């Protein structure tokens, strides 16, 4: 039988050196001595070592690792002793530490690159010399599993951190998971006490609220996944304004309000709470100005519900429009030269527009406060931006603010 294969040069290289290579063609040929082929064998040995390190891997971890091997470019950095370490492009000193040894990663508390102390989120480049600083009895941080914070890039390192937390006590993971979610929701000006986590748990094939919090604490579920699902499980809050989909609430028999042609009603976002896609909302029918959309927790909305419940309508985010929403952000930091420049650089890198800035410097305690009005598309983007700002030097806190939070 005659077999004909037609491939581009890139297809050929991936087929011969990738995960699905026809390696049996190499047997007994000169190709078996090819340095790239030997490199791929070494890489497979790393996979086996990884499995020995963390025991039974989650299927998605292993699949992610294989995908990275196919798709990602590589960088080559040096240990303090001059040994070469092959890493995925974009890797951090923490990825490097876990590549060297699992316990080095767990105990990592800092890093020097080319003799200079850098944050653990620093992106390594080919040729860098990396020296890891450890502490005795050091433990991983759950923040390392938060992709928005940028501590880890490689699936191998993330799997080792997840495995460590999975081995911890259930009560510890429950407490840690609740703390993580509470902090993230507070940063977004939301309250955990007003959210039913049981439907969220079911989406992750978990039995209860506590199981979800344990999974968060163990690193099996990320805070971003939970926040994103919150948007999906609100009453069909799928996407953005201004074309808000409205449906009438159950009205009292004596109500004079009749909602007709609801698809054409004018909608505006309430300035008192500035709701963002992903959080629960409700509408208030005004006199002559259409429907004003409030965050469900807005105190102003509660007052309206008490006095004119017949004017309240259920609303949900439209699935067809994708325009940003204004959000008020508060930043507290120790004052320094270039602070505002660094924060605006973060916003520029995230493609977030700034429409208002107020700054104040307190000479008595050396702090600076900023109030920004930024435009974001959803809660996920807002959370990522706040996390990036909070990582900047001297920043004490960065959070969303509103008249109700």
Asked if 199 and 206 count as a contact pair (C-beta separation under 8 A), the reply is no
User: In terms of pTM, does the model score above 0.85?
Assistant: no
Strand partners of residue 86 = 76
Rounded Cα–Cα distance for residues 284 and 397 (Å): 34
Question: Rounded to the nearest 10 degrees, what angle do helices 35-54 and 9-17 cross at?
Answer: 50
| Vertex 341: Cα angle to 339 and 344 (nearest 5) | 110
Rounded Cα–Cα distance for residues 16 and 37 (Å): 8
| Domain 72-166 top-level CATH class | alpha beta
Token digits for 245? 């989909």
Strands 74-78 and 84-88, bridge-based pairing:
antiparallel
pLDDT one-digit tens code per residue, 50-92 = 555 555 555 556 556 555 555 557 888 999 888 889 999 889 9
Q: Please report, in tens digits, the pLDDT of each residue of the chain (405 residues total).
A: 677 778 777 667 656 655 444 444 444 445 444 555 566 556 656 655 655 555 555 555 655 655 555 555 788 899 988 888 999 988 999 999 999 999 999 999 999 999 998 889 899 998 899 999 998 888 898 889 887 788 999 988 999 998 888 887 788 888 888 888 888 887 777 777 767 788 888 888 888 888 888 888 888 888 878 877 775 655 443 333 333 333 333 333 332 222 333 455 667 788 888 887 777 778 888 876 778 888 888 888 888 888 888 788 877 776 555 568 888 999 999 998 888 888 988 898 888 999 888 999 888 889 999 999 999 888 888 888 898 898 888 899 999 887 554
Cis peptide before 242 (omega within 30 of 0): yes
Domain with CATH 3.10.20.30 in the chain: 72-166
pLDDT one-digit tens code per residue, 20-40 = 444 444 444 454 445 555 665
Rounded Cα–Cα distance for residues 89 and 377 (Å): 29
Domain with CATH 3.30.70.260 in the chain: 325-401
Rounded Cα–Cα distance for residues 379 and 227 (Å): 7
CATH superfamily membership of 325-401 = ACT domain (3.30.70.260)
């Amino acid at each position: 039988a005659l077999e004909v294969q037609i491939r581009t040069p890139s297809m050929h290289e991936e087929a011969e050196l990738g995960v699905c290579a026809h390696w049996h063609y190499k047997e007994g040929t000169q190709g078996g001595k090819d340095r790239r082929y030997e490199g791929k064998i070494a890489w497979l040995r790393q996979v086996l070592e990884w499995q020995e390190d963390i025991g039974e891997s989650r299927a998605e971890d292993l699949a992610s690792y294989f995908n990275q091997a196919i798709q990602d470019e590589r960088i080559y950095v040096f240990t303090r002793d001059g040994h070469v370490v092959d890493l995925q492009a974009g890797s951090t000193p923490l990825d490097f530490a876990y590549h060297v040894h699992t316990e080095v990663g767990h105990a990592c508390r800092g890093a020097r690159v080319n003799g200079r102390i850098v944050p653990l989120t620093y992106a390594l480049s080919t040729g860098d010399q990396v020296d890891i600083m450890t502490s005795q009895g050091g433990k991983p941080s759950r923040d390392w599993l938060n992709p928005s914070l940028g501590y880890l890039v490689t699936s191998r390192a993330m799997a080792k951190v997840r495995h460590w937390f999975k081995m911890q006590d259930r009560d510890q993971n429950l407490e840690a998971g609740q703390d993580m979610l509470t902090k993230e929701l507070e940063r977004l000006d939301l309250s955990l006490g007003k959210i039913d986590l049981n439907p969220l748990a079911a989406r992750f094939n978990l039995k209860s609220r506590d199981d979800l919090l344990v999974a968060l604490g163990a690193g099996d579920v990320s805070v971003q996944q939970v926040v994103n699902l919150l948007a999906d499980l609100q009453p069909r809050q799928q996407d953005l304004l201004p074309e808000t989909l409205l449906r009438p609430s159950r009205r009292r028999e004596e109500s004079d309000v009749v909602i007709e042609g609801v698809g054409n009603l004018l909608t505006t976002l309430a300035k008192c709470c500035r709701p963002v896609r992903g959080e629960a909302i409700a509408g208030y029918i005004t006199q002559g100005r259409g429907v004003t959309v409030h965050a469900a927790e807005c105190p102003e909305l509660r007052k309206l519900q008490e006095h004119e419940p017949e004017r309240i309508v259920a609303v949900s985010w439209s699935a067809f429009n994708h325009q940003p929403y204004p959000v008020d952000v508060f930043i507290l930091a120790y004052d320094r030269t270039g602070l505002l420049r660094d924060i605006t650089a973060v916003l520029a890198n995230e493609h977030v527009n700034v429409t208002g800035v107020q700054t104040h410097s307190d000479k008595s305690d050396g702090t600076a406060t900023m109030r920004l009005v930024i435009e974001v598309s959803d809660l996920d983007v807002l959370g990522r931006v706040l996390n990036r700002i909070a990582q900047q030097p001297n920043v004490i806190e960065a959070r969303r603010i509103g008249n109700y939070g």
